[in-house]
Structure 1
Amino acid sequence: MLTDKRILLIIAGGIAAYKSLELIRRLRERGAWVTPVLTRAAEEFVTPLSVSSLSGEKAYRDLFDLTDEADMGHIQLSRSADLIVVAPGTADLMAKMALGMANDLASTLLLATDTPVLVAPAMNVRMWDHPATQRNLRQLTADGIAFVGPNDGDMACGEFGPGRMVEPMEIVQAVQEVMAEGPLQGRRILVTSGPTHEPIDPVRYIANRSSGAQGSAIAQALIKLGAEVIFVTGPADAARPEGATLIEVETAQEMLSAVQQNLSVDAAVFCAAVADWRVASASDSKIKKTKGGLPVLAFAENPDILATVSQMGDGRPPLVVGFAAETDDVIENATAKRIRKGCDWIVANDVSPATGIMGGSENAVTLISDAGSEAWPRMGKVEVAEKLAARIAETLVG
């Protein structure tokens, strides 16, 4: 998502500056180019050599370095990036930004830029809570500056409270959200994924073979198109999508509850392989094996999440997409399912063992809607996700 994006990283003076090294590494992993700028105080915590080595770029330090001015003037430097990130954002630098001061390279770049700015504050809890800092925060927010954090936590000074800089991966997520582009920008989409685990006793459960790979890929493709994604997943093996709001659940009932609490969305994609049944009275203790005896399990039907949402009145998402994993009469069964559930689309696939689709890296699906059925060729699950995300964008945006 950050491939070839240019980020100007301003590192101010604070103990949290050490996190900037990990931040550079994480941004570079995602394909971003990072140009570091250090304040004089920052050099007391991290060295120009360390940030330059990790970023692969020159570390800028001095406003009045004539060589730098000849190669890259501060005006050009401030405007050549796609995003300026200030991490850590100290109380001093925030005050300079709010007052429009420009007495060093960092503050001059921030005043001269027309590029979006994201600040990750880091300071003592008393400094963060001080009326002056809160006044500066309100002014900068009104000026269009974006913020991530701070978090509550233990501080180097021994105090506890708000003021601790967020972790590097939280900044990466915020960067991705700020830089989100594409037709789905401003749209909110819910995606369910993975299997559910329905307990029999504390050590056994009922599940299925879903890896969650297709759901994760769909969520990532929607984020890539600029959507805000709420990702509700069962205990899946697949990596979670970066940049999504993650909600982890175990059972079908937990998944339904999570979905209902997050239904102010433009679309809902129900990719999860939800167990149809659960044990009516799961045991609180492990069921012991007894000679000559087999346990008798009484089952209850799980909530039908797709039907529940599809048949809502007020609050129903404008677009509801379900999935149908079938082994026989795939199109006929999936078409009947779409009508029975009341969803707008069904994505049907054949999960017979011979296909290798369940738990595999590829998928072959048919998109079924009011317009009929449209068979897609077999392709990687990432490609299926991108094609489905593009179709969702086309429907929502036009």
Structure 2
Amino acid sequence: MKKTVEKVAIIGAGPGGLATAIALRKQGIDARVYERAGEFRPVGAGVGLHPNGLRCLDAIKPGIVDILKCSGCKVEKVTLKTVTGETIMTYESPMFKKYGQPTLTIWWYRLQQILASYLPSEVIHLNYRCIGFEQNENSVITNFENGKTVESDLLIGADGVNSTVREILIGDSQPRYVGSMSWRAVVNYKDDLLQQNEVILMKGEESIVFLLGVGEGNMSWLARKLLPDSTLSSTLAEAKSRVLREFANWMEPVTELIAQTDPKRILEGPICDRLPLNQWSYGRVTLLGDAAHPMTPAAGQGANTTFEDAYELGECLYNFPDLQTALTNYDNRRIQRTAIIQTHSAAREKLYYQPFQQTNQQLQQERENFENWMYDYVPNSELRLRSWQ
């Protein structure tokens, strides 16, 4: 079977870009990844991989999910606590029983490492910051800050919420700040604070803290607070001082955990999204993951919908006879679903800061129906294409 494209350039070596390269190279496509960073450093925080994302990774590369499960933590229970550490409730995670896959929490850096290990080293090009591209009927020429250029049949922007590829292709201004600042880090595991395979969610006044194991002796803390100003701290030390100040009245183990964290490990950033697009693909250029559909983390679907993108783009390039038909089908398969999840995540972000309370039966049923639709996504099944309601 003649391949739709021979050579593909992927901008961004995050999990989405790497998973896409794996999916395309499996089909014999010469997919290469270009990353602005000079090296893969131990950065990032904990990432939640849900059944829909895990199924897509397994379809892209059978066996990879088993490796991830050995490196991360399978969430078995969730505990809700107050600022003072009082337990409101604990419940078992229903994921595996309902969907056949767990929620898996893993360090972003470890996820990146594992995905990169499935690619030949010469496929990943570091110190390649994309600064522009030009396309014609036959190819795309991508320009990099180091003076190099790359010619390909297809360019994929997998370069995150502040995507350069999207800025040039779409030009739809800056990401939208949703009013919530975030600080997060990965530290050595503290078993007196968090049990293995447990996630803790603590709520304060317009602030929340997550604690989760991410495997291999590490845990991740994520602190968020509603703030009108999205200005970042000027130094790493200032960012650490800021989060300590914002969460000074929380239970001592949490403040101690933050205090003991190396400032170099703390990631400070505004939580942002964008309004959904009607089209991702133009000519020989398309978008994927946060470059296409950035969403708040409230539904935990950023990485998972990205792996859906990687799977579907690979399937479209394999199953359709020409590039334009393949990309049109890719847009049609992905845009409606991700737009719904973007909108839902934005609404759910505000709910996170409301006090713990019982929801009425109708709202609970609506939430369960939505989650069933979201998590039931199955590769190679028409069910994956069905719309929400």
Structure 2 length as normaliser, TM-score? 0.28
